[in-house]
Structure 1
Amino acid sequence: MPLPFLTADRDLDFDNPAAETTPLPHDEPDHWRRPYRPGPWRVGAAAVLLLLASFVLFSAMIIALAGSLPGAVACVAVGAVVLALAVRLLRVGLWVSSSGLRQVGLLSTTTEPWSAVASVRTAQQPVRWLGLPRTVQGQALIVHRVEGEPLRILVTDRNGDFLSRPEAFDRAADVLEAWAAEYRS
């Protein structure tokens, strides 16, 4: 049973073509929302990191019971860092609200008000495959600023969210372009 209120990746009304490009239907446009759900590659990588964190924290408990408190503290610190990295990995992507566009990276976050966004468009260009140095031909969602350089590209059809889901990339790009068109003016 689908729960459309939990994700942005819901069934679209194909009888109404305008429904594909309308912004997300929700009551509170002031809250930051990601207009697509995390993809299987991103969720899988975060799950592996969470599993690693659980092993490290379990080893910290064993080390603490064995009587080596400094070693246990070091293991807890490493486990906390891995846990924070897994949670941050799940938050990577573009987030929107009525106040602007937020680009969340693994180590940094950039927020642009809609008045500073000149355009949001999709372009064919070489993109990084799963964020690795290897590039392949693909589509990228490019956010141009009114002044300055475009935002760093985080959303491509070859990243961890859309690698095996091209239709999800198209929907997410349409929704992001619709948000930009509605709130930029």
Structure 2
Amino acid sequence: MEDVFLGGFRRGELTALEWSDIDFENNTITIRKSLALTKNGQAVVKDPKTEESFRTVDMPLWYMEELKIYYREWIKEKLKLGDMWQGEDHQYVFHGGFGKPYYFTVPTEQWKRISKRHGLKQIRLHDLRHTAGTLLIEAGLAQGIDTDITLKAVQERLGHKDFKTTADIYTHVTKKASKALAEQLDKFDPKNFVNKSSITAK
């Protein structure tokens, strides 16, 4: 589930992900397709939701290092299975066993179990995308990065069709950050200086 949170990926984008989409040298993941359904054990792979959903996303170095470890284990498992491998020419990063693609609802079911096991608030798996967007915007604004630039970067990372979609979704975040920024100016309240001057004079 780290992928949804860190990369802001959609469920179908992750289940369709193959190792050819992973670039360990540049620490990126490229979204080229989406697994919308699974019929008779076969994945129904389509293009991503929108043209803007075709994207390459920069990922944290520590995460890519963990993914490398997982990749080595993945290769060992595939070699061990030999002729029992059922993934054909596909190399799904996350599969349901024997290389077969996950049934499209499995990630959601797994997320529910993980949340319950660890006593986490029950939210939709898709909402982790919004959590990713919110944290990125808050981080950008905290660093003094222009709001439009921050929102544009989040739009591209999440694969939203247009800027307005991103701006509308995260309006509450930018307003909250703007208010917090304004509150920082309270320290310049003249009354604070008057009080200090009075104390010094005494």
TM-score (norm 1): 0.27
Structure with the larger strand share: 1
